[in-house]
Structure 1
Amino acid sequence: MSHASADSPFQSLDIAILTVSDTRTLANDQSGDTLQRCLEEAGHRLIERRLVKDDIYQIRAVVSDWIARADLPAVLVTGGTGFSGRDSTPEALLPLFDKVVEGYGELFRHLSLASIGTSTIQSRAVAGLANRTLICAMPGAPRACALAWNDIIGPQLDSRHRPCNFVGELVARRGEHCASRSEGEPA
């Protein structure tokens, strides 16, 4: 967690998007389009966008490649978080996480309760840190992607968001340091 000072400047981040679907293509991927629009409107850069079938090993292979890159601090994954037989995004991602961000899934379900009621219990939205890369997985509906970005991910990827955000932790992998920490303060 990085503490943000009142005068923290905005830091544009490089972000990748992975859509998990057995039926969509990049031409009709409305959820991926929603996430791309949101991150670009926020001032971040889309570095890569891919689509894979709902298969544990295909998902894990793409995300593993991305988290090995020093220039990619955040990955957004949409789709495959439900309970159908093919939904396997959490199973693909959880073994990769060094730390699970438990509050992400909890908050996503809490916020989605207002729009989808108790069906929110069927969302297995997960997030975690792997090799100092933030990975956030959300349902494959455009409305769910907008909710996740606008109310959770976007603020946490904004270096100005107070009292804290993930940006300092993510950019540290490039040798940069969180400006709000004093030299002697432990991380």
Structure 2
Amino acid sequence: MAGRIDETLAFVPVRIAVLTVSDTRTPETDKSGDTLAARITEAGHALTGRAIVPDEIDAIRAQIRSWCSNAMADAIITTGGTGLTGRDVTVEAVRPLFDKEIDGFAAIFHQISFGIIGTSTLQSRACAGVISGVYVFCLPGSPGAVRDGWDHILKSQLDSRHRPCNFVEIMPRLMEHLQR
């Protein structure tokens, strides 16, 4: 059974930052970042940050930590660096920072991706988690993968009206572990 949008509820805009991880992309050639930015704003959310960093663990971590510590975003979506090559280090950079990992994100992403590109989905290491109360979603770098991740997962889970549940309604509780 698929979820649904309850139109009787108020929409709550989410502050979202987009991080492109690539040694070759520039602001002029960042199609995946452009795709995410457009979809985020079309959905009614605020695009609060956008950056391109090289495939380097320290650069990725520095940008994510900056956005998390400056309370610039409720969610960060990365694109790129989730593959299997030696330069693909987004997962290695981000996963150790997770306070909690959202295990089901990768499973659902692969299920959707398998229906579109078949077993080629095995080359993606999409992942998600929470860092200092901020959701972080790591998507592959292709525009198609970004569309699939946003259209089939993130668009609904970042909509406060999505039922039976969504990520927005639990945002105020993401830091509870620090209050113990």
Is this a same-fold pair by TM over 0.5? Answer: yes
Distance in 1, matches of 2:68 and 2:117, equals 32
Q: CA deviation at 1:110?
A: 0.7
Whether 1:76 aligns to 2:58 is: no
- Residues 43-82 of structure 1 correspond to what in structure 2 (within 5 A)? 43-82=44-83
**Deviation sequence 1:74-100 (CA, Å, 0-9, x none):** 000000000011000000000111100
Distance in 2, matches of 1:5 and 1:117, equals 33
Letter in 1 for 2:158: L
Find the counterpart in structure 2 of residue 125 from structure 1. Answer: 126
Letter in 1 for 2:11: F
Whether 1:160 aligns to 2:140 is: no
Whether contact under 8 Å (1:132, 1:169) holds in the other structure is no
**Deviation sequence 1:10-68 (CA, Å, 0-9, x none):** 00111100000011101110000000011111000111100000001100110011111
**Which blocks of at least 5 consecutive residues in structure 2 are unaligned?**
176-180
Whether contact under 8 Å (2:48, 2:72) holds in the other structure is no
- Residues 78-157 of structure 1 correspond to what in structure 2 (within 5 A)? 78-157=79-158
Letter in 1 for 2:138: A
Distance in 2, matches of 1:114 and 1:5, equals 27
Letter in 2 for 1:166: F
Distance in 1, matches of 2:139 and 2:69, equals 22
Greater than 3 Å deviation, 4+ residue runs = 4-7, 171-174
Q: Which has the higher contact order (CA 8 A, sep 6+)?
A: 1
Distance in 2, matches of 1:104 and 1:142, equals 18
**Deviation sequence 1:87-142 (CA, Å, 0-9, x none):** 00000000111100011011101100022111111110000011111100000000
RMSD: 1.7
Letter in 2 for 1:21: S
**Seq. identity, %:** 47
SS at match of 1:165: coil
How many pairs align? 171
Letter in 1 for 2:151: N
SS at match of 1:64: helix
